[in-house]
Amino acid sequence: MKRALITGVTGQDGSYLAELLIQKGYRVYGLIRRSSTVPTERIYHLGDSLNLVSGDLLDEKSLRQIIEECQPDEVYNLAAQSFVPESWTQSILTGEITALGVTRLLNAIRDVNPQVRFYQASTSEMFGKAQTVPQDEKTPFYPRSPYGVSKLYGHWITVNYRESYGMFACSGILFNHESPRRGREFLTRKVTYAVARIVAGLQNELRLGNLDAQRDWGYAPDYVEGMWRMLQQESPEDYVLATGETHSVREWVDKSFAVAGLDYKDYVVVDPRFVRPAEVDLLIGDSGKARKQLGWNPTVTFDELIEIMVEADEALVQEQEASQHAIAALRGIR
Q: Which residues bind ligand F7E (CB under 6 A)?
A: 82, 84, 123-125, 175-176, 185-188, 190, 208-210, 213, 215, 249, 274, 276, 279
Q: Which one of 147, 219, 223, 239 is the catalytic residue?
A: 147
Give me the least distance between CB of 98 and ligand NAP, in Å please.
7
Give the binding site for ligand NAP (CB under 6 A): 7-8, 10-14, 31, 33, 35, 39, 56-58, 78-82, 97, 121, 123, 174, 176-177, 183
Residue 276 near which of ligand F7E, ligand NAP, none (CB within 5-8 Å, type-dependent): ligand F7E
Q: Which one of 98, 123, 139, 188 is the catalytic residue?
A: 123
Give the residue closest to ligand F7E by C-beta.
213
Residue 322 zone, left/alpha/beta (φ > 0; ψ -120 to 50; rest): alpha
Q: Does the annotation count 264 as an active-site position? A: no
In the complex with ligand F7E, the residue whose CB is nearer, 52 or 312, is 312
In the complex with ligand F7E, the residue whose CB is nearer, 125 or 286, is 125
CA distance 32 to 39: 9
In the complex with ligand NAP, the residue whose CB is nearer, 166 or 183, is 183
Give me the least distance between CB of 92 and ligand NAP, in Å please.
13
Residue 8 near which of ligand F7E, ligand NAP, none (CB within 5-8 Å, type-dependent): ligand NAP
Q: Which one of 60, 74, 125, 314 is the catalytic residue?
A: 125
Give me the least distance between CB of 265 and ligand NAP, in Å please.
27
Q: Does the annotation count 123 as an active-site position? A: yes
Give me the least distance between CB of 64 and ligand F7E, in Å please.
26
In the complex with ligand NAP, the residue whose CB is nearer, 56 or 314, is 56
Residue 197 near which of ligand NAP, ligand F7E, none (CB within 5-8 Å, type-dependent): none
CA distance 256 to 311: 10
Residue 58 near which of ligand NAP, ligand F7E, none (CB within 5-8 Å, type-dependent): ligand NAP
Give me the least distance between CB of 185 and ligand NAP, in Å please.
9
- Tell me if 143 sits within 8 A of 149, measured CB to CB: yes
Active site residues: 123, 125, 147
